[in-house]
Structure 1
Amino acid sequence: MGLSSLFFRTYLKAKSNRWYWLFSIFCRVVLAYAFIVAGFVKIIGERFASGLSILHPMGAYLEALHHTGFYYTFIGYAQVAAAILLIIPRTVFLGALIYFPIILNICILSIAVRFEGSLVTSPLMVLANLFLLVWHYNKLQFLLPIKSRLDMLHVGKSKKYSNKFPWLFSLFVIACVAFTVVVARFGYDFRPRNSLKDCKKQFVNTINEEKGIEFCQCIHINGSTLDQCLEEYNNKH
């Protein structure tokens, strides 16, 4: 049996399972809620994460983004539009397509500046978005550089669902969540954190306490870039 046939059989089996279907609804609702909240803040003109200092790498980015005028508002409308499309059953696939590049950008940004506010949530949202895209693979296949199967085009909501609980898939989801949390918690030696006080805490009673405090001051008092502060930290003996 080829990989294509195996995937096709697995896909059909998943589409006819009630638990996979319920998980797809859960992903839609959670993703939609997140973007409606974030998008509404931008539409009304408020700065997202307004409590974060502009000296913080993420705070500086959000502050600059806030001052881009109608571009900032456009992002808000795009987020809300993607969320609404996710909620409507007939437009879920379109919503997932619009949603993906936005959340992927947020995820990469969060990792790049070590922003703990979304180090866990953004990767999990990317994975949830990917699940929805795969869930609608019967449509997605026509956008990929592969040979499309026309017999998959009309694979939709099953008339009779299987109630067999997908234990293996559930364990995979739990493992993904656990891995994301562990990487976010221990993937970096240290992070800027969201305030000078919290930043200093991670260095207290360590061999790098003095260097660490200087790193925190570099971020939260001097307002230097993360790369500059990391370079100064690494150059100190």
Structure 2
Amino acid sequence: MALFSIFSSLEDYYIKIKQNRWHWIFSILCRFLLAYAFIVAGMVKILGERFASGLSELHPMGAYLEALHHTGYYYTFIGVAQVIAGVFLLIPGTVLLGALIYLPIIVNICILSLAVRFEGSFVSSPLMVLANLYILAWHYDKLKYILPFNRYSREASIPKPKKYESKFPFLFFIGVLSIMGIIVWFAQFGNQVMPRNSLSNCKSQFINTDNEHVGFEFCECIHTAGNPLNQCLEKLEKSKL
């Protein structure tokens, strides 16, 4: 009974959100930004070019992308999937399908970016995951019927309101900005050491510190020797003062 009451309250809140113009505009903005990112990235793969081609092959992400580039039609397949997901997000009738295709791809990219500490998508990929989840939440009226606790109904979609409410959802956007701020903060300060995208940038974080020498060795381990990130981090921790 309590669980039913919670779901009922959430659905009432959801209906209010669906009638707010600012939430509607935010959902469209998320759609177009996500679509643009995947269509551009996907076309790079379809055309056979290496993604982030300026990144050294010795960088953890660079090594991964170089290997991925040589997987043949699998590399092309990823690009096609990204373009399809992006195009579907642009078409009103296929937005939900596009978001469902988009989600596993962007979650994989996000986890990869965090695992190898790649600055190129260390901030953007978590934000893209959240934007994708927002689009799925926006289409909860359709999505809920594939979830195990709801039964199918012919009236799967809440009709578009004749007139949107104009009340600005301050708390919602404060929450959005707060989450973005937390992610940016974590990207800057969440890890004491980052491999960075080049040898010089990597060394810059150790200049005039107590661990300058071992820090430079860490950067050489990544960008010159091409060793795995975890191995270089372990060596750094053992050598630190």
Shorter-normalised TM range: over 0.9
Whether 2:32 is the aligned partner of 1:49: answer no
- 1:103 aligns to what? 106
Task: Give, in angstroms, the shift of residue 235 of structure 1.
Answer: 1.6
2: CA distance, partners of 1:51 / 1:148: 51
- State which of 157, 160, 168 in structure 1 corresponds to 2:163: 160
1:159-216 per-position Cα deviation (integer Å, ceiling 9, x unaligned): 2110110001010100011011001110000100000000000001111111110000
State the secondary structure of the residue aligned to 1:145.
coil
Matches within 5 A, 1:30-49: 30-49=33-52
1: CA distance, partners of 2:140 / 2:152: 10
The total of aligned residue pairs comes to: 237
Say if 1:86 and 1:95, in contact at 8 Å, map to a contact too: yes
The unaligned stretches of length 5 or more in structure 2 are none
Q: Which amino acid aligns with 1:221?
A: T
Higher mean alpha-carbon deviation, 161-170 vs 145-154, is at 145-154
Check 1:178–1:235 CA distance in 2 against 1; reply closer, same or farther (3 A cut): same
TM-score w.r.t. length of structure 1? 0.97
Task: Give, in angstroms, the shift of residue 224 of structure 1.
Answer: 0.1
2: CA distance, partners of 1:69 / 1:81: 19
Pairwise CA RMSD of aligned residues?
Answer: 1.3
Q: Which amino acid aligns with 1:10?
A: Y
State the secondary structure of the residue aligned to 1:190.
coil
Q: Which amino acid aligns with 2:158?
A: V
Q: Which amino acid aligns with 1:138?
A: D
Task: Give, in angstroms, the shift of residue 156 of structure 1.
Answer: 3.7
Say if 2:44 and 2:50, in contact at 8 Å, map to a contact too: yes
Task: Give, in angstroms, the shift of residue 146 of structure 1.
Answer: 2.1
Whether 2:80 is the aligned partner of 1:83: answer no
Moved over 4 A (4+): none
Check 1:47–1:156 CA distance in 2 against 1; reply closer, same or farther (3 A cut): farther
